[in-house]
Amino acid sequence: AASRTPLMAGNWKMNLNHQEAVVLVQKLAWTLEDKKHTYSNAEVVVIPPFTDLRSVQTLIDGDRLKVKYGAQDVSVHDSGAYTGEVSAAMLSKLGVSYVVVGHSERREYHAETDAVVNAKAHKALAAGMTPIVCVGEGLDVRKAGEQVSYTLAQVEGSLAGFTAEQVAGLVVAYEPVWAIGTGEVATPEDAQEVCGAIRARVRELLGDEAADGLRVLYGGSVKSSNVVGIMAKDDVDGALVGGASLEAEEFAGICRFR
């Protein structure tokens, strides 16, 4: 993790309207600044619902806040007759820096395959945004002890067609599904096992530049009280945080991670 900039990303999921979003981002920025930017070695990203993005942009630009913002999904299409979809160009026009693709909730409830996730990641990157590509096994796979091979297959499918140079700038989030929103946190050793295996496979397939540049996040019930042990692991470069990102003090605590 040494030479890579830590990334702390808060996935709000379907929570907070645009007014509540502005309040939370203001509180978050204030809390981080109040502690004299002791978090400043981490990039801090909020990932609100689409409807909040314009308001968040206005606040962050207007107040020159250091917090960045991302989107929770993106269309595989560029434009046209795709009711309900939001394009990469629309997001990038709003100053969006990161796009979550293939979150386990999208894979499960919207049947997103690795091929769809891969197409979305390509759309995001082509529009100048960084995809946060989510992977991770369910409980049955974990119980069978197959978490590494299962997750590596998702990584290969989801990162297909990217060059080594592109992968060096990407983010992969390892989120064991059994640890998401359950209070069941993987141990730092569990996180390192799979995050390390992801980097090793990328090194094998694409070489040192890609493997050393790629940031691998852990996600699954991360809190300010357990983030330190997870961040101490060599191949964990940050966290994708759900529930704990909805409270300013708590998320700021995660962003400081010490």
Q: Which residues are catalytic, by number?
A: 103, 175
From the centroid of its chain, how far is CA 176?
Answer: 13
CB of 78 to ligand PEP, least distance (A): 27
In 134-221, which residue ranges form alpha helices assigned H by DSSP?
139-143, 147-158, 164-167, 188-206, 208-213
Compute the Cα dihedral for 235, 239, 240, 243 and give only its sign: positive
Q: Taking contact as CB under 6 A, which single stretch among the options 115-123, 156-164, 175-183, 202-210 is the one that binds ligand PEP? A: 175-183
Question: Under the criterion CB under 6 A, does residue 11 sit at the interface with ligand PEP?
Answer: yes
As a whole number of angstroms, the distance between CA 224 and CA 230 comes to 11
| Residue 67 touches ligand PEP, criterion: CB under 6 A | no
Site string for ligand PEP, 121-160 (x = CB under 6 A): ----------------------------------------
Closest CA to 132 of 112, 117, 145: 117
Instruction: Select from 109-117, 141-149, 173-181, 191-199 the region that touches ligand PEP (CB under 6 A).
Output: 173-181
Shortest CB 3 distance to ligand PEP, Å: 25
Token digits for 45?
A: 């990203």
220 near ligand PEP, rule: CB under 6 A: yes
Nearest residue to 70 (alpha-carbon basis) of 128, 4, 130, 24: 130
**Residue 242 touches ligand PEP, criterion: CB under 6 A:** yes
11 annotated to a ligand binding site: yes
Cα–chain center distance at 53 = 16
Among 168, 84, 78, smallest CA distance to 126 is for 78
Any contact of residue 6 with ligand PEP (CB under 6 A)?
Answer: no
Q: Residue 244 Cβ, how far from ligand PEP at the closest point, in Å?
A: 6
87 is in an annotated binding site: no
Which CA distances in Å does 118 have to 114, 218, 243?
6, 20, 26
Classify 95 in phi/psi space as left (phi over 0), alpha (psi -120 to 50) or beta.
left
Closer by beta carbon to ligand PEP, 59 or else 67: 67
Q: Which of 14-22, 65-73, 160-168, 218-226 is the region at the interface with ligand PEP (rule: CB under 6 A)?
A: 218-226
- Cα(92)–Cα(94) distance, integer angstroms: 5
Does position 238 interact with ligand PEP (CB under 6 A)? The reply is: no
Find the shortest distance in angstroms from Cβ 180 to ligand PEP.
Answer: 4
Summarize as ranges the residues that interact with ligand PEP (CB under 6 A).
11, 175, 180-181, 219-222, 240-244
Q: Residue ranges for the binding site for substrate?
A: 11-13, 181, 221, 242-243
